[in-house]
Structure 1
């Protein structure tokens, strides 16, 4: 987040956690953190690099099993997909140049191919017939480029259909958590010239 007065889930994992809490109706308090000011480094947060794993206990609430299945083979698949998700948009705060942009676009195609052909295949969701935490993390990552006015799934009908299914399941909690993404997209595209819009992907993939 950017302040303490309103929910502004800019970071991918923050949006995923927020959607999950709201969808499952787990009681929670949102505390926005100004990362640019280094508030995340305060002692109350400097406990564990995986705070979202530490503080959200799926066993403490009546969470449907499909989110994080108890069966080892299903849980392993979800874990695998979530671990792989970290590679979707790895670059942060790096200067843009044509060579880097070209590589990012090439890597993106390969990444989306793998998501579609290795994980999704012909299933409704990434790990089977039901939505899981893997879908939630992946969809939040793939929504990030909208901040730069670019829908990276527009030419991938199978992934578009998957995203629509995820959105349908999560409904209001999805749109609420991504409201900041929609706002940034509108401001970003409004400032761009037609020529600049062709390069908007660089700002998206090199800034999270």
Structure 2
């Protein structure tokens, strides 16, 4: 969308390619994402967004106005211990841990993380999106990319976004999807295939 030049390097997490010695030479944290810009390495998604937007002057994605930028920074810092943490733990409890342990999900843990995930969505509904139509202001910024990706993890795991309970969030999701096509669907092809498989499996047990 930005026309920033890049060469993608896919890392197969399912094959544990992120924990190899070769990969740890690039990212010692053994996680994704990571970028190497002519040898300059960054290992955190928020820092990567900021760096690329500043280097290539993508001021629509990361405003230069002090207060407008502060709004994007505000969300980027808030999300770590809220929507990101709760959504990731819900996804991990539902999908990752059972696959690693070969045991069914802990229902009590699932309920706990689902409640916390919905609490974070309630914050999106009644604080972030009540204040402005996007998470970082009145237009699409990288704050919205952070938000939509963290929201999509539990959705990929089979959970639903309650449109009646969270109408602002629902409308925001539709706007972000529409404004980032066709890349949104391309980026979420595998998660959406996972969702279809999970829902199909659940329906077959009914």
Query: Do they superpose with TM above 0.5?
Result: yes
The residue number in structure 2 matching 1:202 is none
Do residues 26 (structure 1) and 9 (structure 2) align?
A: no
Distance 2:47 2:205 in 1: 42
Q: Does 1:68 align with 2:62?
A: yes
Q: Distance in 2 between matches of 1:73 and 1:99?
A: 42
Contact 1:149 1:189 in 2 (8 A): yes
Residue 67 of structure 1 aligns to a residue in which SS?
coil
Match of 2:53 in 1: 58
SS in 2 for 1:116: helix
Q: 2:140 matched to 1:131?
A: yes
Q: CA 1:48–1:166 in 2, change beyond 3 Å: closer, same or farther?
A: closer
Shift of 1:36: 4.0
User: Given the alignment of the two structures, is residue 44 of structure 1 paired with residue 23 of structure 2, yes or no?
Assistant: no
Deviation, 1:26, is: 1.4
Distance verdict in 2 for CA 1:36–1:176, change over 3 Å: closer
Q: Distance in 2 between matches of 1:60 and 1:90?
A: 30
Alignment correspondent of 2:182? 172
Indicate conservation of the 8 Å contact 2:71/2:137, yes or no. no
On the 8 A contact 1:33/1:39 being kept in 2, the answer is yes
Distance 1:125 1:52 in 2: 17
Corresponding residue number in structure 2 for 1:158: 168
Q: Which has the higher contact order (CA 8 A, sep 6+)?
A: 1
TM-score, L = length of structure 2: 0.72
Q: How far apart, CA to CA, are the structure 1 residues paired with 2:53 and 2:188?
A: 23
* Alignment partner, residue 101 of structure 2: none
Alignment length (residue pairs): 173
In structure 2, relative to structure 1, the CA distance for the partners of 1:107 and 1:51 (3 Å cut) is closer
2:132–2:138: 8 Å Cα contact kept in structure 1?
yes
**TM-score normalised per structure 1:** 0.72
Structure 2 gap ranges (5+): 29-40, 99-104
Q: CA RMSD in A?
A: 2.4
Please report how far the alpha carbon of residue 122 of structure 1 lies from its aligned counterpart in structure 2 after TM superposition: 4.9
Shift in Å, 1:111: 0.9
Contact 1:120–1:127 (CA under 8 A) maintained in structure 2: no
3-state SS, counterpart of residue 30 of structure 1 = coil
What CA distance in whole angstroms lies between the structure 2 residues aligned with 1:33 and 1:94?
20
What is the CA distance between 1:171 and its match in structure 2? 1.5
CA–CA distance in 2 between the matches of 1:76 and 1:108?
A: 25
Gaps of 5+ in 1: 1-22, 197-208
